[in-house]
Every structure is written in structure tokens, then in C-alpha cells.
Structure 1
Amino acid sequence: MIQIQNLYKAYNGVPVLDTINLNIRRSEIFGIVGQSGAGKSTLLRCINGLESFDNGQIVVNGTNISLLSEKELSSFRRKIGMIFQNFALLNRRTVIDNVMLPMECWHYPKEARRKKAQELLELVGLADKTMAMPHELSGGQKQRVAIARALTLEPDILLCDEATSALDPAITKSILELLADVNRQLGITVVIVTHDMAVIKAVCNRMAIVSDKRIAAMGDVADTFLDEPPSLLALLGKKELVVPPGQAILKLSLRDGGIDQAFLHGFVSELKLDFTIIAADVEQFYGTSAGHLYLRLDAANLEQARVYCLSKGMACTAVAAGGRPGGNDDVL
């Protein structure tokens, strides 16, 4: 659906995106995260042709956008909707007039504009607000109007640039549920740029982390949080768990459920090993659950415990104080 290859962009000779490679699948909800200034919003604007780039290519639905003329770009953007943090509504126009605006610009017949706008306002739960003015709406309602407006030209792709950053958690949840509904009902590919990991966990199928102008990690959301690449840990500000001298920590990866008592009992009954559960961080993601369980045990028993876990099909990372198994230091 969206294929980005070796994308490079600079402002006044200063790189803001460097060797970006990304593949976004049709009808998925894809999240792009990173620190402020990492280049994620610039990347989003490159996808719909609002920003040019210096090298590489972006192919959207089979169209190489760098080969398009200005007129062709304008037509191309009809199939890409976009919503922003600040809603971008016209304050002197009613809700339904705001929704009809893109169709008005493309000279749709008046009756067709009004019919489509009313259908979309019903879809976003604002059928009773057609004649309201923007100042009469809450922040969440304004964003719903913006989503309805972005859908008027029946886009294949919906780009969301920090679309929930100005909203409180409860309203954010309702907007994310709406985006998920739009994705399911209309089959629209949704790309979400955000700095909020809660947004990624709640609604995205896959994700990419932009760090230092590059894609530092990419993959299934739950798998990425299980793997904990350095770029993710930096974004989360996750504290290191120090391994005491003579001790070891076994970090077990959990997906779609927990660990049954029989598994843990095996450490005692089969291996004759003592252990202590010191932490757990299982979380809910969009359509699944994932996380880690941390066990502390004697360092001398670490390899035996690791082999036991693998024999039971349990993914794990094992670290002893002062050791570097798997390329890790003596922290998790």
C-alpha cells in the first residue's frame, strides 16, 4: 500500500530523514512514534506529497509520487485524508459546512455534498450537531468533525498527525475507538504519528520507531514491546533492573495469556530450583496481551533454568551479574 525506499530529506543541508525504509500494508493501522524533532511528522507529510524529498522514493497504491506534476499531486491527495492536532475547523462555518468543504472545493453537486456529510456525521456520532458552530463543541467533538471531513472524498488512506495530543485520556480513547471502527467498516489504511505509547498500544497493528532521523525498529506492536529494542526503552524511559552479585534474572516473554502454575511448579519439582518472582509487566495491546515476568535465582542455576524454559516453548532472556548473554549487560 505504502512503500518507502531509502528516503532522504534535508532542510538547508541538514538531514531530517535519512535512509528511511518502510512498508505499510493495506487496511492496517500503523503507528509511527519518536521523540519530538525525530522527523516523524515530516515523514507523514512526505507520504501525501505536502513535503518534497531529496532522494529515495515513495510509492502509494502503485503511484510513485515523486514523478507526479503539481496537478497530478492535487488529484492524488484526494485519496489521502488527514487529521491534525488542532482540528483545523473553520470557526465561521457550521459543522456540516466544515464537513462539506473538501467536496465543495472539488465542485461536488450541493445535494450530494449534504447527503454525504450527513452520512459521515452519523458515522462519527454527531448527527445531532449538523448546524452547531465549532465553538459550541468539545475537543473530542471537533476531532470527530475533522475525521468526518477527512473521509468525504472516500480516501484509501487516513493520516493522523498527533490527532489526540490535545485531548484528555477519556476523549482520546473514544477517538481511537472511532478510528478503529472506520478502519474496520471502510477498510481504510490508517497511519498514526504520535509520541504517546498508549495510542500505539490501544489501536495499532504494527509500528515503527523513528530515532536520529532513521527507522530504529519496526514490527508487530506486541512483539516490539516484548523484544524491547534500545530505541523503545529510550522512549519509555524504562529503568534498568540491576542484577545482584551471585544472582541471575530470567526474563520470560508472555503473549496472549500468562504462565500457568504447572510451569512455575516445574522449577521446583523438576529442576529442584528456588526462585523469586520480582516483577511483572503484562499489558493489553490492540487485540492481544503481552509482557514479561521476571524471576530471580542463583547465577549457578541460570543456564539450567534457561534450557528448561526453552524446552517448554517459553521465550526468555537470561542474564547473570557481570555477564553479557544475548548481548545484554548485567541489567534488564
Structure 2
Amino acid sequence: MNQHVKAETAEPVHIRPTGTEDVVRLVGLKRSFGATAALGGVSLTVKKGEILGIIGRSGAGKSTLIRCLNGLERPDSGEVFIEGREISRLSERDLQPLRRRIGMVFQHFNLLSAKTVEENVALPLKIEGQPRAERMARAAELLQLVGLSEKAKAHPASLSGGQKQRVGIARALAARPALLLSDEATSALDPETTRSILALLKDINSRLGLTILLVTHEMEVIRSIADRVAVIDAGRIVEEGAVWQIFADPKSGVTRSLLGAIRPQLPPEIAGRLAAGEGAETILKVDVAGDAARGPLLSDLSASVPGPIRLVHGGIDHVQRQPVGTLFLAVPDSGGLAQTIAFLKDRGARVEVLGHVAGPV
């Protein structure tokens, strides 16, 4: 999903400096509903201009976290800083101007069917009380940014799902926010449309320096555009780091499970033959990244360790311009296994013995 879709745009509108490196800072955030703990002490930061992906399964706490960020939910304890200001204890009146610094993009678009595309985009500015001429000029600028100038007078019912989401993105940018919250924004879209929307978000981030917090349950979305990822499970951040590093060496079980859909897995016909005891061959899972994945690892291994070591599945991908790979090797049980594992670990690979097979795979 590295496709780059770039709409024709007007001169970019620059967001005013915030005076702080952290656009978002959460400290020990806790929120419970009855006996159920939705958030169990979440702490994280989002730097100005970065895209942070927050990923987790349904019920992990993602929605509650979003609602605490935009002030719709009050935490039981902990602090929520937006551009250096703690918001969790502000009155509703004091929250209003801060909410304008946060744009929201929703899964189901939330467009008003009775209004035209340009009127939907300009709605936040109408609520602010801006003159019609100014808000229509801003709407036109943003529709050009998202590639929908020709749809300004159309109504949402005539738009495709991807076009509706582009309108939603334009509307979220209307008030020149410092932070864009994307809440499962591509979940209702087909894969091709998803690629175009993610490319648009990446382009907006690059052009405007806009900070984006992306909430999703799809690891492919994180892989496509995020700089960092935080994995949330049962209301806690269980893992956090640069996307390529998390892909290369996931520490938690939930992260490994989420990665399972997009990382190479041992084919079922081989996995079904694995046994615990000795056999003709041992199957190794080898994870490599960075420098370990750039060099001629397998040819060097063949030159250093005797025996017919074979690649049975896997390959090298690129995440954030870093090579990240998973290889499945068959090593003869007759000799060379310990030497093979030692060689791979010495090259920086992570090696796991999956089991043995009775005959060639």
C-alpha cells in the first residue's frame, strides 16, 4: 500500500506554531464504566507533525481514548494535554475553542444529506460565526486540496464512499486544526479506496505539517502511513515504537496476532506436519530487519554451514524504507542445526525453532 495519490491543491494553509513539541500528551489516563476498566493508565505523546497509529482489537479502549482526547469523555484520573494545556477538567465553555484545534474524521462520514458538499465542509466555520464569503472561500480551497472541486454543489447522496470520506477530511481541516483524529476512517471502504484515502492523509501531513492520530484495528493501515505505533490491549499500551521496529520484532502476543494477517506465515501444509521430536528436517522461523535483511544472508549461510539448508517460505518487505523479513528455513537434522542458529543470531536475526518434519517439505 505504497501508492501515492496527490490531488491538485491550492497554496497550502500553514498551521500556526503551537509553542510545544508535544501536540498531545497523556499521563496515566484511567477511565472505568462500572466494574469495567476501559483505560487502565495510558501514557503517550504525539509529536508535532508526526502520524501516530493506535491499534487494538475491538473493546481494547480505542474509542474511549479518542473521546478523552476531544473532551467528550472525562477521565477518572490522569491528565490530557493538548498543545500544552490540560483539558480534562475544563468547563464545556472553555473546551469549545480547544475542540476547534482538533479535527475529526469518522468511519461513517457523518455528512449532512440536506447540505451540499461545500456547505458540509464550511459547517464548522458557520458554527464559529464566520461570514459566508470567507467560509465558502475556505471550503473551495479545501475541496481543491482533497481533489473534489467539481463536486462542490453536489449532495452527499451522489458521492462514492471514498468521495464522502474526502469531504469528511476537508471538513475536519476547515478550522485549521493542530491535530487530526482519524477514528477507523477507512474501515467502511474497499481496499483501493482505502489506499487513496491513506495516501491523501499522508500528503496532507507532509504538505501542512499536520499532526495525525490514527485509530484503527488494521495493521496494514499502520504500515502504510504511520511513523510510530502504539498497541493498546485491555485499556493499556502494551507496546510502542517506530513502525518498522515493531513489525521487525513484536514483543507482545497481541501485536504478533495483529501482524499475523500481513506478515508471512508458515503454510498450513507444512505447519500440519510439524512434530516435537526429531525428524528429517528442522523448520526455523527467522525474523530479520535493517542491516541483517540487507546483506546476502542466505548465500553467506550456505557458504558457512555445510548441508542443504533450504528456504521453504517467506520473503523481505519494506516498512518505512527499512527491510523487514520473515524466512522459514528447513535445516537437516543430520547436522548443522546449532551452527545455523548461531550464524543467524550472530547476524542479528531472531530465530525460533518451530518443530521437525519427517521428510522434505
TM-score, structure 1 length as denominator? 0.88
Give the distance between the partners of 1:38 and 1:314, measured in 2 at CA: 33
The CA deviation string for residues 98-140 of structure 1, in whole angstroms up to 9 with x for no partner, is 1110001111122211111100000000011111111111111
Q: CA RMSD in A?
A: 2.3
Q: Conserved in 2, the CA contact under 8 Å of 1:120 and 1:152?
A: yes
1:278 equivalent in structure 2: 312
The CA deviation string for residues 61-102 of structure 1, in whole angstroms up to 9 with x for no partner, is 111112322212111111100010111111111111111100
1:181 aligns with 2:213: no
Give the distance between the partners of 1:24 and 1:169, measured in 2 at CA: 27
2:111 equivalent in structure 1: 89
Q: Which amino acid aligns with 1:127?
A: S
> 127-136 vs 243-252, which deviates more?
243-252
Give the distance between the partners of 2:321 and 2:192, measured in 1 at CA: 19
Q: Conserved in 2, the CA contact under 8 Å of 1:250 and 1:317?
A: yes
Q: How does 1:141-290 map to 2 (within 5 A)?
A: 141-229=163-251, 230-236=253-259, 242=274, 245-246=277-278, 247=282, 249=284, 251-255=286-290, 258=293, 260-261=295-296, 263-290=297-324
Q: Which amino acid aligns with 2:301?
A: F
Q: Conserved in 1, the CA contact under 8 Å of 2:312 and 2:329?
A: yes
Q: Conserved in 1, the CA contact under 8 Å of 2:306 and 2:336?
A: no
2:8 equivalent in structure 1: none
Q: Which amino acid aligns with 1:182?
A: I
> 111-120 vs 219-228, which deviates more?
219-228
The CA deviation string for residues 245-272 of structure 1, in whole angstroms up to 9 with x for no partner, is 33352513134895554x3233333332
Q: Which amino acid aligns with 2:118?
A: I
Q: Which amino acid aligns with 2:94?
A: E
Give the distance between the partners of 2:118 and 2:250, measured in 1 at CA: 45
2:122 equivalent in structure 1: 100
1:130 aligns with 2:152: yes
Q: Cα distance, 1:236 vs. partner?
A: 4.4
Q: How does 1:107-126 map to 2 (within 5 A)?
A: 107-126=129-148
Indicate the SS of the match to 1:67.
coil
1:309 equivalent in structure 2: 344
Indicate the SS of the match to 2:108.
coil
Indicate the SS of the match to 2:336.
helix
Relative to structure 1, is the Cα distance of residues 139 and 265 closer, same or farther in structure 2, using a 3 angstrom cutoff?
Answer: closer
Q: Which amino acid aligns with 2:115?
A: R
Give the distance between the partners of 1:248 and 1:280, measured in 2 at CA: 12
Provide the aligned length of Structure 1 versus Structure 2: 320
Q: Cα distance, 1:319 vs. partner?
A: 3.0
| Structure 2 gaps, min length 5 | 1-21, 357-361
The CA deviation string for residues 288-325 of structure 1, in whole angstroms up to 9 with x for no partner, is 442212223256634433332344x4332243759xxx
1:328 equivalent in structure 2: none
Q: Conserved in 1, the CA contact under 8 Å of 2:53 and 2:222?
A: yes
Indicate the SS of the match to 1:282.
strand
Give the distance between the partners of 2:218 and 2:342, measured in 1 at CA: 37
> 68-77 vs 180-189, which deviates more?
68-77
Q: Which amino acid aligns with 1:314?
A: G
Q: Conserved in 2, the CA contact under 8 Å of 1:5 and 1:19?
A: yes
TM-score, structure 2 length as denominator? 0.82
Indicate the SS of the match to 2:111.
coil
Q: Conserved in 1, the CA contact under 8 Å of 2:247 and 2:259?
A: no
Give the distance between the partners of 1:149 and 1:268, measured in 2 at CA: 57
Q: Conserved in 2, the CA contact under 8 Å of 1:251 and 1:316?
A: yes
Q: Which amino acid aligns with 2:165?
A: Q
Give the distance between the partners of 2:285 and 2:136, measured in 1 at CA: 61
| Structure 1 gaps, min length 5 | 323-332
Relative to structure 1, is the Cα distance of residues 119 and 243 closer, same or farther in structure 2, using a 3 angstrom cutoff?
Answer: farther
Indicate the SS of the match to 2:241.
strand
Give the distance between the partners of 2:178 and 2:292, measured in 1 at CA: 35
1:293 equivalent in structure 2: 327
1:12 aligns with 2:59: no
